[in-house]
Structure 1
């Protein structure tokens, strides 16, 4: 039963999508309370039937697109976002949480100003972190359909899907990354991301290394490099506005307040997957805006690792050779629109060649030696 007292009995996919569209058809004289109830009816219907009709990412994305294109978000986005955040904080139903988080992510990716408001997001961050902290069998891949799910005659899916806790964990990591990517957090704000949480993120990378779908593993790494950026900037410039993707002028590295670096230093021998996948992510990066941001964040962590004595030799020598190849390719191939990223590659290339094992093995420099 939704907020209007309506009980939905959905028998097929066509009926489900028709009901969604009907909910989003808003009468011209609707009051603000009616608008609020409409959003909650949309969430209620999706939460009740997402395991049947919203199992694939495309289906879930389509439902969010319908909402974003409705009058609710075209003319009342501020109110709808505040209501979504409020409900996200208050609801304990995981299925409703899943839909609300998807709505917040969909709107945030369209409107980064929404993600930048720390005051708005501060109450929700601990709840998202709780989903990430939840212990889940590492052998469970975060795929929407699951191995035993089959389509049914009603246009939905039947069978055993991915547990809701797994979906919420993945979605929470993505939301935390988007928030950490665009907000300016102070050292006091960053106290929320304590040692145990950072340690858990590194452990998640290792636990999920063998999953067939690498997207969750990469999402956790992206969250870690975004947090590293936050700690770097907050430590170097605690009282000044966050610079736009700049290194410190003197090249000095942040102090021990950078929990990402400190935790990684404490587990160098047990976080090799993290280093390997950093290189894979750089090597596979496209020219999409999202991947360009990811490259910059990864490069800033590499710069820090190469210039820190205890982590300068964190990577295997063969992996460093791969990095050199990636750097040279990107420096040559990046266009004028990405000149800043090219300069960053050049900036990081110097410590890569002079501070790591490559200082005594001049790979691709005379004399020309190869990694064995």
Structure 2
């Protein structure tokens, strides 16, 4: 999109006034719409270093356009023109403004039309190229927005074959290297955007692979798991951050994305011991705590509980925890007992939960305590929870104290893999918690 206008503004007030005039333009012909968009990009890129130095001002600038008459009268056309700009332009200021528009507009509209248009126009390979571009990497704010745009646009629809072909091993290792190189500060701007891109790519590989297997074709190589398998000792920080994110995250869809990565890691003999033992202990604590938090009367909670249990089984059977000294054996057995016992906040127990609990109990090192619990569940004698005799505490706190939680608030069959792959939730839905109902 070539620029045909220039500005000579003396202060910030003039900048915002001029911007308001541009986004309020009312026109019908495409030629005049294009001219207005050129003006918008010219003024924002020319004065970006002066008046758009913060993420807040970038967002403010984008929302002026989103809320203006120019966009609202011609939404589809404006989106497509800005999308073409992202496909064609190479200078960082322009890339920053157009990618910020697509990101905020995509998040702002309720029908995902922006991200669907990006998918139709084949934007994914372009994002892969830009994220690896050395010139783009020098602008950390632009780089972060592109990562967020890749994540948001990739989690609502399946990638196409050419999209997968744009991702090679070096791209995955590059993302893992970013995580390894950033600070240990959980608020580092690179932590979540990079991790989320890896999570959604793993999701895409998992869904594509299970779909191909269901159709009788060979599965697609999951480059995320392949990278951990071949270079896991070099990129340990990714695993640490997965645990941190799982412990903090309240969005159901993101928890499911994390759990799917963990399921594949622990189900693969080459990656089953990827985590440091101390980190593995923390992960087990997080899983136990989150299972305790889930209420019984929510379909979303049931789906999430089933996924946690599917992840717990390979952890119990394939990771270091399966070797002496066994970590929290009694606590794990008590939790599994609670999940299959009537008369507590998990009841009534659904058949899938019982089946998955029995699978977890089959871990040899959980015997003989697990056998006793399993027998009680089968013959129906398990009618009273071990924590029923504690009075005056909320159920979640009772279970935590009894189970000894140390975390503060904050290779299966193809059928099993398919069960994990198909668990999904819309972005933004918060994970239900029994704690919300406890006085």
Under a length normalisation based on structure 2, what TM-score does the superposition of the two structures give? 0.67
For 1:21, the equivalent position in structure 2 comes to 20
In the alignment, does 2:182 pair up with 1:208?
yes
For 1:269, the equivalent position in structure 2 comes to 233
Structure 2 distance, partners of 1:41, 1:352, is 57
Are the equivalent residues in 1 in contact too, given 2:83–2:118 (CA < 8 A)?
no
Are the equivalent residues in 2 in contact too, given 1:115–1:121 (CA < 8 A)?
no
**1:10, distance to aligned residue in structure 2 (A):** 2.4
Structure 1 distance, partners of 2:7, 2:92, is 19
Output aligned runs, 1:158-177, within 5 Å. 165-177=139-151
- Decide whether aligned partners of structure 1 residues 61 and 240 sit closer, same or farther in structure 2, where only a CA change above 3 A counts: farther
Structure 2 distance, partners of 1:109, 1:370, is 37
Structure 2 distance, partners of 1:292, 1:36, is 41
**1:168, distance to aligned residue in structure 2 (A):** 2.5
**1:43, distance to aligned residue in structure 2 (A):** 1.8
For 2:339, the equivalent position in structure 1 comes to none
**1:126, distance to aligned residue in structure 2 (A):** 3.3
For 1:82, the equivalent position in structure 2 comes to 80
For 1:157, the equivalent position in structure 2 comes to none
Secondary structure in 2 aligned to 1:10? coil
Output aligned runs, 1:214-233, within 5 Å. 214-233=188-207
Structure 1 distance, partners of 2:106, 2:125, is 18
In the alignment, does 2:254 pair up with 1:294?
yes
For 2:277, the equivalent position in structure 1 comes to 317
- Decide whether aligned partners of structure 1 residues 163 and 126 sit closer, same or farther in structure 2, where only a CA change above 3 A counts: closer
Structure 2 distance, partners of 1:10, 1:198, is 44
**1:119, distance to aligned residue in structure 2 (A):** 4.8
Secondary structure in 2 aligned to 1:8? coil
Structure 1 distance, partners of 2:69, 2:405, is 61
Secondary structure in 2 aligned to 1:215? coil
Give per-residue Cα distances to partners, 1:305-338, cap 9 Å, x unaligned.
Answer: 1111111111112111211221222223245374
Structure 1 distance, partners of 2:24, 2:93, is 24
- Decide whether aligned partners of structure 1 residues 240 and 99 sit closer, same or farther in structure 2, where only a CA change above 3 A counts: farther
Are the equivalent residues in 2 in contact too, given 1:24–1:67 (CA < 8 A)?
yes
- Decide whether aligned partners of structure 1 residues 274 and 119 sit closer, same or farther in structure 2, where only a CA change above 3 A counts: closer
- Decide whether aligned partners of structure 1 residues 76 and 164 sit closer, same or farther in structure 2, where only a CA change above 3 A counts: farther
Q: How many residues end up aligned between the 2 structures?
A: 326
Output aligned runs, 1:83-102, within 5 Å. 83-102=81-100
Are the equivalent residues in 2 in contact too, given 1:227–1:260 (CA < 8 A)?
yes
Are the equivalent residues in 1 in contact too, given 2:208–2:219 (CA < 8 A)?
no
Structure 2 distance, partners of 1:239, 1:308, is 17
Structure 2 distance, partners of 1:343, 1:43, is 49
Moved more, 227-236 or 256-265: 256-265
Structure 1 distance, partners of 2:14, 2:34, is 23
For 1:344, the equivalent position in structure 2 comes to 307
Give per-residue Cα distances to partners, 1:53-81, cap 9 Å, x unaligned.
Answer: 12221111111111111123323111011
Are the equivalent residues in 1 in contact too, given 2:173–2:227 (CA < 8 A)?
yes
In the alignment, does 2:158 pair up with 1:184?
yes
RMSD over aligned Cα, in angstroms?
2.8
In the alignment, does 2:315 pair up with 1:355?
no
Output aligned runs, 1:233-252, within 5 Å. 233-238=207-212
Are the equivalent residues in 2 in contact too, given 1:118–1:183 (CA < 8 A)?
no
1:257 to 201, 205, 221: 221
Output aligned runs, 1:123-142, within 5 Å. 124-135=123-134
For the pair shown, which has the larger CA radius of gyration, 1 or 2?
A: 2
Are the equivalent residues in 2 in contact too, given 1:117–1:183 (CA < 8 A)?
no
Structure 2 distance, partners of 1:212, 1:355, is 29
Are the equivalent residues in 2 in contact too, given 1:231–1:258 (CA < 8 A)?
yes
Are the equivalent residues in 1 in contact too, given 2:106–2:115 (CA < 8 A)?
yes
Under a length normalisation based on structure 1, what TM-score does the superposition of the two structures give? 0.79
Are the equivalent residues in 2 in contact too, given 1:226–1:297 (CA < 8 A)?
yes
Are the equivalent residues in 2 in contact too, given 1:303–1:351 (CA < 8 A)?
yes
For 2:391, the equivalent position in structure 1 comes to none
Are the equivalent residues in 1 in contact too, given 2:289–2:405 (CA < 8 A)?
no
For 1:278, the equivalent position in structure 2 comes to 242
Are the equivalent residues in 2 in contact too, given 1:282–1:295 (CA < 8 A)?
yes
Moved more, 83-92 or 178-187: 178-187
Structure 1 distance, partners of 2:290, 2:331, is 23
**1:30, distance to aligned residue in structure 2 (A):** 4.1
